[in-house]
Amino acid sequence: MRLVNASRGRGPYPVPVARSITSVPESAQRGHGRRDHAQTAFGERTPYAILAAILGITAAFSLLFAVLSPGTEQLRWVDLGLGAATALTAVALLWLGPRASSGWPLDVALAFAYVAAAAGLVAVPDGEGQLLIGFGLVMFGVFAGVFRPTERLIWHLAAMVGLYGATLALDPHLPSPLFFVVVVVTVLVVTLMVHVLAGRLRAMALHDPLTGVLNRRGLEVMSDLVAAQAARTETPVTVGIIDLDKFKQFNDSRGHVAGDQRLVQIADAWESEIRTSDLVARFGGDEFAFVLPGASEEDVADLVSRVRARTVAPFSVGITTWVPHEDLYLALRRADTGMFREKAEHALAPDSEALDGE
């Protein structure tokens, strides 16, 4: 099968450079395209700015307690030290966070917050202070629930609750263990509710309700993350446009229900074959788009062949190379040109009537 590459002339990337799509195992990874994009939906700077703001508020309260709250000289120095350290962590997070990959600065900053809370638990002389610190952990739990994936959220909750409980066991001031249970239940329930609700809301905002693949907004958000990662690793990225052939005629003759089923079928066929690092989205109507990091033209041709074998729905494809720092829509416009060339070839083919998949 020959794909129309709108960027032909620059030449495809050499096969050793591209991570081959054809090497995806049949049962191990194929079909993992339908994944939870909701947990990586925010822009790269947003989580760092929000956590830095939370740390800044925490630092401000710590400094205010050091200046205004009556207490021992030792407690004031602890408050001043924790406030200064927390403020420095917020500044470092703002500077380092967007420059790092995989979000590890967020995990480090959250871990620092748990340790700082434990230090505060040891320093405060009464149960009220320990209870206040416990409820303050809700802020960090909510943040982790919104911005961290489920696996890391579980580790954060375990570290947060475990460190809080261990510190209270070493220096207990709460009048009853029941207060500890109340704090833990509050942190867990609020965090998990926010995590579930935030995931659902983002999934609704980023996914097409009919096919379940990304929508146009979801493609914009997720492709930015793919492009940033590809730029850091100098990985080539191929983008493409998919358009169903003779879909209007099929929809008019078979009805809208059959047309919807065909859209779902083509989306499922693509998501059954792409890798977890790839993106496929419904771009509008009967048009889809895909983003394939590390894929050569030969890789994409093999992928399209496998998708065609999975569905009777005929479609045309145009691909191009997404140049670093180029706007996604400029690249998709080139791919769209290639797609129309292939569609014209399909229309001129002698067996073009069979393209309906009937």
Which pLDDT tens digit goes with each residue over 223-240? 888 888 888 788 889 999
Band (350; pLDDT cuts 50, 70, 90): low
For residues 250-257, average pLDDT: 90
Specify the pLDDT at position 6. 57
* Local confidence band at 347 (pLDDT 50, 70, 90 cut-offs): confident
Which pLDDT belongs to residue 45? 80
Q: Is pLDDT of 307 > 70?
A: yes
SS3 of the chain: CCCEECCCCCCCCCCCCCCCHHHCCCCCCCCCCCCCHHHHCCCCHHHHHHHHHHHHHHHHHHHHHHHHCCCCHHHHHHHHHHHHHHHHHHHHHHHHHHHCCCCHHHHHHHHHHHHHHHHHHHHCCCHHHHHHHHHHHHHHHHHHHHHCCHHHHHHHHHHHHHHHHHHHHHCCCCCCHHHHHHHHHHHHHHHHHHHHHHHHHHHHHHECCCCCCECHHHHHHHHHHHHHHHHHHCCCEEEEEEEECCHHHHHHHHCHHHHHHHHHHHHHHHHHHCCCCCEEEEEECCEEEEEEECCCHHHHHHHHHHHHHHCCCCEEEEEEECCCCCCHHHHHHHHHHHHHHHHHHHHHCCCHHHHHCC
**313 with 265: CB under 8 angstroms?**
yes
Residue the block writes with tokens 């066991």: 169
Q: Which of 7, 120, 10, 102 is nearest to 58 (CA)?
A: 120
Longest Cα–Cα distance in the chain: 91
Give the model confidence (pLDDT) of 6-36 as tens digits: 554 433 333 333 333 333 333 333 344 444 4
Say if residue 169 is exposed, middle or buried (CB neighbours under 10 Å; 0-12, 13-18, 19+): exposed
Of 101 and 37, the structure prediction assigns the larger pLDDT to: 101
- pLDDT greater than 70 at residue 354: no
Phi then psi for residue 279, to 5 deg, are: -125, 140
Q: Which residue has the higher pLDDT, 356 or 198?
A: 198
Residue 15 or 286, more confident: 286
Tokens standing for 236? 């080539």
Confidence of residue 93 (pLDDT cuts 50, 70, 90): very high
How far from 80 is each of 4, 62, 135, 140, 244, CA to CA, in Å? Answer: 65, 7, 21, 21, 64
Q: Which domains does the chain have, with CATH numbers?
A: 4-34+212-356 (3.30.70.270), 45-206 (no CATH)
pLDDT at 270 over 90: yes
pLDDT of residue 9: 41
CA geometry: angle 170, 78, 140, nearest 5 deg = 70
Query: Is the pLDDT at 42 greater than 70, yes or no?
Result: no
Residue 262 pLDDT? 93
Tell me what pLDDT residue 7 has: 52
Mean pLDDT, the chain, whole residue set: 83
The pLDDT, as a whole number, for residue 355 is 45
- How far from the centroid of its chain's Cα atoms is residue 338's Cα? 30
pTM across the whole model: 0.68
Lowest mean pLDDT among 68-72, 232-236, 255-259, 303-307: 68-72
